[in-house]
Amino acid sequence: MANLEGRTVLITGAGRGIGRAEALYCAAVGANVVVNDPGVQTDGSGGDSGIASTVVDEIRALGGRAVADTGSVTDWNDARLMVEHAVVEFGDLHAVVNNATIEVNKGLERLTEGEFDDVVAVKLKGTFAVSRWAAAFWRRRFDEGVRTDRAIVNTASGSGLLNPLPLQTNYAAANAGIAAMTTVHALELRRLGVRVNCVSPSMVRTRLTEQVPGMDRTLPPDRLDPKDPITVAPLVAYLLDEACPLTGQVLSVRGGSIAVNHGWTRGGQIDKDDELWTVPELAQSFTTLTVEDPFDRLATALGGALGVQGRDQLEALIDGELDKL
């Protein structure tokens, strides 16, 4: 089990779902937890300050240490203040878990500018904003001579990394951006003793996935439910532990399975020196390369959940039913 005793962890989007499970788990292994959540709906509307406080009460009832924060990760000043909140309450900030997200799923031709911007603002800009203010604080501490392990754990999703899910232009783009930021920030911040990794959960039961067919099926209480958000928490706690050597990694987690992702990798290539390609030459040369159909990629990622008939149904859905959404 991870040992986070004495380490202060700021977790965004920690009022429900995966973030709540991470907050409870980290507190149980000794962390001081800043539970950040403005209590918005799945599309980012509304707000409820009691959501974060409820999780804090749960942690304290179990003997843990926590404080609520209701700032929005989309607000530059709120991101700064939540970092300061952690320092004021607990004396330092050792780690950030960027978990906040919203979703608005629509076909490309129906998605509005505002709906695109809102999802990217929470998921991608929010991850950047909180990480930026944490890094600025750690830079000051480093310049003051403080040397200690610090960590950022970002949260992506199979959508944008492994599963080209229709209707998720905004969400997929933001997740891909988070994976890219993870590797860049891991290199940038190593000089300050900061490790940066990313977890990419899939098939986890949250408000965002409750409408997915089969997600409502549960197992008997004596068996671990692979769809329970708690399945993500041990991996996050491990990545926050100062004994963890990992940095720059994007890790998929699905139930009890954890996989290392390698991102975009170069495949086969065609070459021509000294002259421009002609279009007929390109047409001929591309027949020698192996290219991937995005539908095949999606069907493979969904795996056994589809079955033989499921693959046909998925294709019918993409070609027909999506036109209604």
Give the domain extent around 309. 279-324
- Residue 268: inside a domain, yes or no? no
Q: Which amino acid is at 72?
A: S
Rounded to whole angstroms, how far apart are CA atoms 61 and 69? Answer: 18
Are 125 and 184 part of one and the same domain? yes
Confidence band, pLDDT 50/70/90 cuts, at residue 229: confident
Token pair listed for 140? 């000051």
What would the DSSP string read from start to end of 35-61?
Answer: EE-----TTS----THHHHHHHHHHHH
Are 13 and 147 part of one and the same domain? yes
Does position 279 have pLDDT exceeding 70, yes or no?
Answer: yes
The total of structural domains in the chain comes to 2
Are 289 and 229 part of one and the same domain? no
Of 261, 287, 315, the residue at which a domain comes to its end is 261
- Residue 266: inside a domain, yes or no? no
pLDDT digits 0-9 by tens, 130-181: 999 999 999 999 999 999 999 999 999 988 888 778 889 999 999 999 999 9
Are 314 and 250 part of one and the same domain? no
Rounded to whole angstroms, how far apart are CA atoms 253 and 123? Answer: 19
Does position 220 have pLDDT exceeding 90, yes or no?
Answer: no
CB atoms within 10 A of CB 121: 20
- Write out the catalytic residue numbers: 171
Are 305 and 241 part of one and the same domain? no
Mark residue 254 as left, alpha or beta (left: phi above 0; alpha: psi -120 to 50; beta: remaining). beta
